[in-house]
Amino acid sequence: MTPDQIFLIQSSFHHLDAMPAKAAEIFYDRLWTIDPTTAPLFAQSDMALQGHKLIALLAFVVDALDTPELVVPVVQDLARRHIAYGVTEAQYTSMGKALFGMLEQMLGAGFTPEVAAAWHEGYALLSSIMTIAAYKA
């Protein structure tokens, strides 16, 4: 990722700080609409806690994008845990679509084509690292 892409992701993500619970709610609503097979993965979850974990993990990854040596082991471990929860490789595509939809809704006009392209690049890299760790190792 380029420094400009990292900057766009970091600066746009920080606009979500004011409403992290709303961002998580939008993400999960979109995820379950896009891919109903993901809903059972959360059947036993406290969704307020799950939403908090989601936004906290995103904040960590976003803040550390310029230090991949910190991010990569964390997301690889998360991917391996996702297997135990029943997450499939195909569901990473659904999660990306839900993320982009949430960002578009939360950022409004701030979700410019440049910001969207940076997020797409970041998610492609992140999901690649995760799927390799979970399904190809």
Give mean pLDDT, residues 50-71: 94
CATH of the domain at 27: 1.10.490.10
Residue 113's pLDDT is 98
If you search the block for the tokens 């976003």, which residue do you land on?
62
Q: What is the tens place of the pLDDT at every residue in 28-42?
A: 999 999 999 999 999
If you search the block for the tokens 């679509």, which residue do you land on?
97
Give helix 91-107 / helix 113-131 axis angle, nearest 10°. Answer: 150
Q: Which domain holds residue 46?
A: 3-136
If you search the block for the tokens 């979109």, which residue do you land on?
30
Q: What is the tens place of the pLDDT at every residue in 76-129?
A: 999 999 999 999 999 999 999 999 999 999 999 999 999 999 999 999 999 999
Number of domains observed in the structure of the chain: 1
pTM exceeds 0.85 for this model = yes
3-class secondary structure, 87: coil
Residue 137's pLDDT is 66
Q: Exposed (0-12), middle (13-18) or buried (19+): which is 9, by Cβ within 10 Å?
A: buried
* Sign of the four-CA dihedral 71, 80, 83, 92: positive
Q: What is the tens place of the pLDDT at every residue in 8-27?
A: 999 999 888 789 999 999 99
